[in-house]
Amino acid sequence: MTAPGSRRGGARRWRLVRAHSDAVPASVRRFMARARRRRLRAAMPWATVGAVLALVGLVTWIVYGTGVFGVREVRVSGTEILSAEEVREAAGVRDGTALARVDLGGIEERLATLAPVDHVIASRDWPGTIAIDVVERTPVAVVPQGRRYVLVDRHGVAFHTVSAKPGGLPVARVAKPGPDDPATRSALEVLTSLSPQLAKQVAAVVVKGPAEIELELRGGRLIVWGDSSQSDTKSQVATALLREKGDRIDVSAPEVVTIR
Instruction: Answer whether residue 9 is part of any domain.
Output: no
Same domain, 155 and 243: yes
Same domain, 37 and 80: no
Helix (H, G, I), strand (E, B) or coil at 133: strand
pLDDT tens for residues 120-132?
999 999 999 999 9
Q: Which helix (H) or strand (E) holds 117?
A: strand 117-125
Instruction: Answer whether residue 174 is part of any domain.
Output: yes
Instruction: Answer whether residue 109 is part of any domain.
Output: yes
Instruction: Answer whether residue 81 is part of any domain.
Output: yes
pLDDT tens for residues 2-61?
445 445 555 667 665 555 555 667 776 666 777 777 776 776 777 677 777 767 665 666
Please give the pLDDT value at position 19.
Answer: 54
Q: Which residues form the domain of 149?
A: 141-259
Same domain, 182 and 226: yes
| Nearest one of 200, 46, 72, 178 to 125, comparing CA atoms | 72
Those residues whose C-beta lies under 8 Å from the C-beta of residue 101, and which sit 6 or more positions away, are 64
pTM: 0.72
Burial of 256 (0-12, 13-18, 19+ CB in 10 A): exposed
Q: What is the CATH number of the domain that holds 235?
A: 3.40.50.11690
Same domain, 155 and 247: yes
pLDDT above 60: residue 76: yes
User: Which contacts of 196-200 are long-range, i.e. CB under 8 A and separated by 24 or more positions?
Assistant: 197/239, 197/242, 198/235, 198/238, 198/239, 198/242, 199/170
Burial of 187 (0-12, 13-18, 19+ CB in 10 A): buried
Same domain, 236 and 251: yes
Number of domains in the chain: 3
Please give the pLDDT value at position 1.
Answer: 45
pLDDT above 90: residue 82: yes
Same domain, 110 and 194: no
Instruction: Answer whether residue 194 is part of any domain.
Output: yes
Same domain, 27 and 121: no
Please give the pLDDT value at position 209.
Answer: 92
Instruction: Answer whether residue 212 is part of any domain.
Output: yes
pLDDT tens for residues 173-212?
999 999 999 999 999 999 999 999 999 999 999 999 999 9
